Structure 1
Amino acid sequence: MGVQDSELVKKSLNGHYDAYSELVRKYSNLVFAVALSKTRDSSFSEDIAQEVFVKAWRKLSLLKEGEKFSSWLITITKNVCIDMLRKNTRLQEEVLVDNIFLTEKPSQTDEIKEAVWDALHQLEDKYKIVTVMHYISGYTAKEISHLLELSQSAIESRLRRAKEKLKKELLVSMVEETFNKQRVGEKFEEDVMWRIVPRIATIEIPVSNIEQSSNWYHKVLGTKAVHQDNHQAMLHLQGGNRIGVPTLYLVQTDDKSRLSFKNSNTGVVHSIIDFFIEDLERFHAFLKQEGVKVTGLNFFPGTTKGGFGFEDPDGNLLSATNVTHTGQV
């Protein structure tokens, strides 16, 4: 386990995102379990787990021994828990709401979960964390011993004592039933990597007149200028309510180069930017009405999917499409 982690850490440090993605997948439930042992709130613990992996990525160069990645991760998790619990009052607010505004009687399942957590929190931390790791993450005593850098006999002893304590409370089976279904969601790894992997922030567009082009992009594409002067304009897509990614950055220049290129295989002139437009025909008609230079609608045979090209006032070639690809929303 350690050798493999060391190799994955090394690759991650060299910019291999797939290697770090594997580490996230491998230890997601470990981090979640440690966080849950501190917060007893699944949703909040998943937020903490995401923050831990993002923070670990940013500080990975500080890890001198890659084979100790898992124990280093646990230390970061504990620290992030302390910080986020200190800053976040949502848990206390939820308890207050439960106590004051709850009109219905708690279900039997809720009462069982509460009883399980009450019993767990009576355990010392060293017993509590191994119990949660065992039941939530599904780790064996041998695996926990490696992760916590303790002997296997010590972990077995802690698990045994924890079970004895819970058995006295008649909660061993309830712990298994409560925690067996607690895992991070399938999208956890994807959500973490979305925050790490590079994505387009800005597309820079050459224009000859900032004011004219800024007004055109606002009218045609609904952009909002969040910064504009005589030489440049930063435009957010999707208006003021949502900040689109990427941002369009208009740059005034005397350079006559414009965005487009010719496909030497087909002879077709391509745009650099494709905008997703659900209703192509309606948008096409709108552009023609506004006097925008457009190409004809081009649909795939037998479908309503396709696209068309259009130009901004400076001749930058753009296009509209209602086709999406795997992984796009």
Structure 2
Amino acid sequence: MNERDIALIRAARSGSTEAFTVIVKNYKNFVYRIILTTLQSRQDAEDVSQEVFIKAYRSLPKLRDEQTFPSWLAQIATRTALDWVQSKHKNQTVELDSERFVTQDVQSGMNARLDLEQALRQLSVEHRLVTVLRAVHGFDYEEIARILDIPIGTVRSRLHNARMHLRQLLQDERGDKS
């Protein structure tokens, strides 16, 4: 976070709707990608994103440290998206910009990206969410644990299991069955 973001957050906490509007503009894609990972529907992700920013605005006075704003906002986004899934029971398909997730198991090129997206669709919501929070958004294990309100050991376990499952799915997709 830079000083400008911190100043915007402080101004928004003091009641500046203009500052909060700038925050929304700066973080809307971040929130949208987190929600899309869970909901896998662009329309639902747009609706839930609006709900997230309403909740964030109302909860802003409770934010203890401006430096933690991104993980705090991610936590609101994740919980709101999971609540939406529980209440709506939507069918799931994933559309991720997964280029940053490309691992040593995946060769470069469009086919590899499509294979990765298809493999991510096959993960459970819990495994997909920790994978994307870590690989795409760059949160560390402690931040992911805080965002999802789960023990750090559970984060490690889910990430390990997700990676193993992805590796197997990607090998199967390429015909590298061992």
Q: Which bin holds the TM-score, normalised by the shorter protein? A: 0.5 to 0.7
Q: Which runs of 5+ in 2 are unaligned?
A: 94-112, 145-158
Q: Which moved more, 1:44-53 or 1:1-10?
A: 1-10
For normalisation by structure 2, the TM-score amounts to 0.59
Q: In 2, Cα distance between the equivalents of 1:56 and 1:145?
A: 19
Q: Is the 8 A contact 1:40 1:117 kept in 2?
A: no
Counterpart residue type for residue 128 of structure 1:
V
1:11 maps to a residue whose letter is A
- Paired residue total: 130
- SS of the equivalent of 2:26 reads helix
Q: Tell me whether 1:9 sits opposite 2:13 in the alignment.
A: no
Distance change >3 Å, CA 116–CA 39, structure 1 → 2: farther
Query: Distance between the aligned counterparts of 1:3 and 1:27, measured in 2?
Result: 15
Alignment of 1:250-269 (within 5 A): none
Q: Write the letter of the residue equivalent to 2:131.
A: Y
Q: Residue type matched to 2:6 in 1?
A: S
Deviation by residue 1:157-183 (Cα, 9 ceiling, x = unmatched): x8xx69x8476446xxxxxxxxxxxxx
Higher relative contact order (CA 8 A, sep 6+): 2
Q: How does 1:17-32 map to 2 (within 5 A)?
A: 17-32=17-32
What's the counterpart of residue 69 of structure 1? 69
Tell me by how many angstroms 1:122 deviates. 4.1
**Contact 1:4/1:67 (8 A) holds in 2:** no
Matches within 5 A, 1:303-318: none
Counterpart CA distance in 2 for 1:17 and 1:69 is 17
What is the Cα-based RMSD across aligned positions, in Å? 3.3
Asked if 1:83 corresponds to 2:83, the answer is yes
Deviations 1:44-99 (A, max 9, x none): 0111111001110011100011121110001001111122222224x24x99xxxx
Q: Greater CA radius of gyration, 1 or 2?
A: 1
Query: Which runs of no fewer than 5 residues in structure 1 stay unpaired?
Result: 96-112, 134-143, 151-157, 171-329
Q: 2:130 aligned with 1:129, yes or no?
A: no
Q: For the Cα contact (< 8 Å) 2:10–2:66, is it kept in 1? A: yes
- Distance in 2, matches of 1:35 and 1:78, equals 6
Normalised by the size of structure 1, how large is the TM-score? 0.34
Seen in structure 2, the aligned counterparts of structure 1 residues 50 and 114 have a Cα distance that, compared at 3 Å, is: farther
Which AA in structure 2 matches 1:66? E
Identity, in percent, stands at 28
- Change over 3 Å in CA distance of 1:9–1:3 after alignment to 2: same
Note if contact 1:36-1:42 (Cα within 8 Å) is conserved in structure 2: yes
Any conservation in 2 of the 1:12–1:20 contact (CA below 8 Å)?
Answer: yes
CA–CA separation in structure 1 for the residues paired with 2:132 and 2:13: 33
The CA deviation at 1:2 is 4.5
